[in-house]
A and B are shown apart, each in its own frame.
Chain A
């Protein structure tokens, strides 16, 4: 059957540069002495450590547990000892620090004993499978790092028509999915079958860009071998086809509204790497402790490396033969959406799909300091896969007119970078959009904070008022009582007064004798 493919508007054709990292098979990265594991390697709440400094850990042992529903646990990638739980720089565009668990490796690489392979997934219910995947810390390996078990949970109408595996990998230079599909197609297909079981999906489709014929052939071979019903579809090579919603559009013609999840349209998309991770979690009992990362660009040995999480970029680059003197930028992720690192002393994590090293020659980089004026030529709007008007967004972002910029649907922007790529004035459009987005988020946060402060202030005001009123009431009651007593029995009153005077005198004496009380309001 020839499936009808759809097309999304926009997108660009990019130079691929994929050959250089697919010449070698998957390389196993040497185990470093230290692994730095950030508590947050996924989208959602950071995980909570369950080990303490000085604890010995074994490979695959959970060292931090999921802190909420949208969270993922972290496991020790190898055996060793926890030597620190502290703040280290994480792979993030800000270059800021975040809490990490540091493990000193012992070189034994000894597995913990509670590896419980499931064997045939059909013996287990979808709920059990989901739990298993959740506890294995599996997150989307395509780049975003959304906890995978959530995307294996059914939506309201409990139907999944199409389960899509995303093997498009449209960013230039990155080949980690490509090489995985070529070398480990069986793992991917078996993982896909587990996902299918968990979702009770009707159809399974794998979308691959047509510049990866070897990968497609390998997957077809695996499908034949396993005798399962999965369709491998080659889609035209075009950036950003690997975007979840773009791929859904191409394969099914459905457009997923912004902020909505694909499951609402009965579609689920997972990355091929995630499928392999699911297979390992379920069938081998291995939690997610390593991944394949493309290390490419200006290097002696560009290739795909299987890395334990927490390995530092410096370590990995040294293994790939970096020439430090000529390095200009190191990009975490692809050249279109990745961010450049301000230091190589950062750990690689679950979402690290690529390290791209650039020097002046290898990648025709753009120095965005040299922007010209926007002439509203509209090239950006032509290539925008979301059909936005980047020229208008730019105009209002630049003026910091955050209301207008939302009128032009700023938050639908996926930051794919197509507009930047074609802009003849070389304006850093995406950065303007990110600036506007984060500014709006910050303003919203401040607004919330202000609301809270107002509420608390009003509450305090009320409390003070109430206390005053209560005091007044007490005084009144007392006075009334006293007055009543007065008229009733003046003798009694006299007696009480005498008693009170005695007590007062005693108190005064005591106060004079006792050591000084702290003086209040000393500096006023």
Chain B
């Protein structure tokens, strides 16, 4: 009886020490989870998740009030990355979401633009240049394709265009072959 108590006490002490040491030695100097989630999100700030921007959505995911499948610009890749990060099961994207959304940028049809600055106020990343009664233009390299500038435009002069493919940003296609030979 006594030996059992002593042994168990000893074991508890040893493991306690090991655990305590491990806690100090392998301490995770991590970003708080919100930052990590925010890093995975595509930062389009589009609000399509029903939160006002990527960071509020990250906070909502961290607090458990939002699902990980509410980010249409991120598509399947972002959802899977979030599932991986949070250790939860992947959730299916809504049917209206595409798995691999096409990257787009806003383009202002300059002949129609009246220079009302409403789109400038709507842009979450200050990617539209212009002043009152002057023609506006989109800085293509900084546009996230969030489409937030489209509804405020009184003359519907903003259109979304796919990002132009060049030899520099071209991606080799996934090989099309099947694990089968001559049919």
Contacts and interface: CB of A to CB of B under 8 A. Distances in A.
Interface of A: 40, 90, 92-94, 96, 98, 368-373, 427-428, 431-432, 434-435, 437-439, 442, 445-446, 449-454, 456-457, 459-460, 518-524
Given A431-B172, A445-B169, A457-B53, A521 B152 contact: yes
Contacts of B172: 93, 431, 434-435, 437-438
A373 B152 CA distance: 54
Give the 4 A-B residue pairs with the shortest CB-CB distance, closest first.
Answer: A522-B154, A450-B43, A456-B125, A94-B170
Interface string B52-67: 0110000000000000
Interface in B69-114: 114
A93 B173 CA distance: 11
Interface string B150-166: 01111110000000011
Interface of B: 38, 41-45, 53-54, 114, 116, 118, 124-127, 142, 144, 151-156, 165-167, 169-182
Contacts of A434: 172
Contacts of B125: 452-453, 456-457, 460
Nearest to B127: A456
Contact of A94 (B116, B167, B181): B167
Contacts of B167: 40, 90, 92, 94, 96, 98
A460 B43 contact: no
B154 A523 contact: yes
A446 B101 CA distance: 13
A427 B179 CA distance: 9
B168 to A, nearest CB: 9
A432 B175 contact: yes
A371 B142 contact: no
Q: What DSSP secondary structure best describes chain A's contact surface?
A: helix
A518 B43 contact: no
Contacts of A442: 169, 171
Given A457-B125, A520-B154, A431 B175 contact: yes
A435 B44 CA distance: 26
Given A457-B53, A521-B152, 6 more contacts: A96-B167, A368-B177, A434-B172, A442-B169, A454-B54, A523-B156
- Name the residue in A431, A438, A446, A450 with the highest tally of chain B Cβ atoms < 10 Å from its Cβ: A450
Contacts of A518: 114, 116, 154
B179 A371 contact: yes
B171 A96 contact: no
Nearest to B170: A94
B166 A96 contact: yes
Contacts of B154: 518-523
Contacts of B144: 449, 453
Given A457-B125, A518-B114, A446 B176 contact: no
13 contacts: A40-B167, A96-B167, A98-B166, A449-B144, A450-B41, A451-B43, A453-B45, A453-B142, A456-B127, A457-B45, A519-B154, A521-B154, A524-B152
A439 B171 CA distance: 6
Contacts of B118: 520-521
Contact of B170 (A96, A456, A524): A96
A439 B172 CA distance: 8
